[in-house]
Structure 1
């Protein structure tokens, strides 16, 4: 289309020149010279048409190559985005597995160690034991201070706290063990002893507090038993 337009413009611009030459040479020009002149003009037009055709074809191929390169660049960019997305997903999965398999167990182990250290410092190492099921025994109702035959027992815990409670002297000595269990000290891990003189307190279910020697206000020591392998 463009080549035809250029040829047409060239042809129209060449007509006046041809006419001028013909006017100058009418007296002397012959048929042979006229045919030669026409042949030269057509040869020039053919050469120009070839040049324009080749140039147009080259321009079209250049444009096509640019479009092709642009499409290839867009495809490469899409492929790169897809690859980056897959790499990010793989990195995310890898990070999740690392957190789940490494960081989380390490964090839990560290928390367990801190918990063990805390309970050992507070004297509540029994809480770390998984071999005992702690029940919550019932305790008799605490009598009033003015009631007869009442003793106050002070229980000194390994943590340094001192707990006090009133009991009737006629209560079973087992109530002391129930009290220990109720405040969280298992009898398989802890024992009772008198403060002065320091001796283990023999507690039996068939004996009362008075029978085991608790006849007045008494301080008892709650201490951890020595663990044997």
Structure 2
């Protein structure tokens, strides 16, 4: 009786836990968006006539309005920078932010990372591989982020690849490694499937794929950024 009750409790937990976590994450994100939206409305109300101030502050209580305005703002910004004039304005904005002390270090770093991750022509985080870490003989899943360049590339002999090794079950933290390309084993699973595999600590396996011959897995392959 006790074992059956425990089994039912675990089964119920497995049903509701993913939904509860999803709702919690979305609620936190919505709270952040509404907080920023409310601050902007408060600042706007201070410079508006008294007759409009109450109506503007009342918009804070409209559910989901902040999220809709954020989505509309992102869409409008994307459309604005898609033309020559918008590109010129974006260049001037980047130049301004790059000349402000302290701000320029944070802004430039975040912009470089975001351009690399979200660019449609980029190759970062578009391929999952196996790498030996933290010691030889122990394998883990990593994501290709590019190839070494500049001074780092000059200090390395042979072809190397930059990879990101995420931690489990939180993949937002991890380790950046530069390893010989020949030591990587490419995987056929998608990045989404690899993330699920990592977050679940190996319990949620991707669909089975036919195993490639060992020689094919170890053969040299084209790397992002290589001509």
TM-score with structure 2 setting the length = 0.21
* Structure with larger Rg: 1
